[in-house]
Structure 1
Amino acid sequence: MRSAVLERMPSMERITDTANNKEPNDKKEEKAPATEKPVVNLTQPNQANDLLDLLVDPSPTIPPHQPTKDTTSGGALLDLLGGIELAGITPLIAFNKNGLMIEFSFQRADSLLSITMRASNSTGSDMTDFVFQAAIPKSFQIQILSPSGNIIPAFNNGAVTQVIKLLNPQKQPLKMRLRLCYSQTGNAVQETCEISHFPPQCWQ
């Protein structure tokens, strides 16, 4: 009787050993998902780079300044006043080269200046895909309206016009940099110039 009991005891120890051996295996299986955390973190820099690509504009052209609330209200004020000209301002020829002439005419109401750009073509071929761009000092606020078209007819048989509204509350001297792009007889043309000889009545 006693010998039979002693022979069964080792079998019970083996059962407990196998049970104990299963516990660390179960723990290893529970810790396995923890290795997936670094994979989730690796996607965050890619998302940041995609957002940065959306914010960066690689275009080298001079971008037109976006109108602010003051500029928009100023533009509405100019419309209500009907473009009242407080003083006669002499028109200005801003650019004249290779048959392309850019002329500015002015209307002013206090610190708000409205410039009408007129582009004409004295050559024998139309100028197509015409684009007018302007840049001014940061102390100004600018609003560039849509042009009347993008084709400047030959032989001065028509023109392209565009309105530029400037708000100059500090009444500083006006300077402007222009970029003019167009195509003629299959050739792309790009011209740049800087204008610093605006009539004093534009800001004084």
Structure 2
Amino acid sequence: MRLWRRAVAELLGTGLLVAVVVGSGIAAQELSPGDTGLQLLENSFATGLGLAVLILVLGPVSGAHLNPVVTLAGWLLGRSSGTGPHLAEAGFYVAAQVVGAIGGSLLANAMFGVPSQISGTDRASGGHLLGEVVATAGLVLLILTLIRTGRENLAAPAVGAYVGAAYWFTSSTSFANPAVTVGRVFTDTFAGISPESVAPFVLAQLVGGALGVLLAGVLYPTAARRA
């Protein structure tokens, strides 16, 4: 599959993922005003289902990384065996994911008639950052586990279910994705995050990704061969 086609799939997929996250967050605010728990339930349910669908649709094209941490993990583990993306390919993937994420946020704002404004929601507390480490580590470990055990066909429901659950068991509501984090800066709604919180969040996600790779290496020493 040509690189430009795979990059388009990553841009489209990440954009639609952020549109689902932000759009369902706006809808939840409008449908359930004053009930934060119900809003989070609606937001997490829509995100989990939407992510599963996107993986099914785009997985055959690009692998449906939709996440720079996943792309970097694939590059890192595939360097020795030549099974992962090359560094240039990984760069194209990450650029496409970030551009798509920003576009998805703007699209969701437009669909709901919400002004596209920079978010003022500060999320960079110690607990939130720890939550991002846990959420991202779990996501990377899950993906590598499925690869190592030959169950890639379960990626869509498994990843969708994990992300939906991680909304609830992590204090940060599981961004677990640097591109999505950047995209959510451009909406001052339920799903938004302030620009000041982005760098700490991304750093925590990279740490979590590295931890996930390390855990996968301990549990499944041959994971790199299939990454």
Larger strand proportion, structure 1 or 2?
1
What TM-score range do you get, normalising by the shorter chain?
Answer: under 0.3
Larger helix proportion, structure 1 or 2?
2
Normalising by structure 2, report the TM-score: 0.18
Which has the bigger relative contact order, CA under 8 A and spacing at least 6? 2
If you compute each CA radius of gyration, which structure gives the higher value, 1 or 2? 1
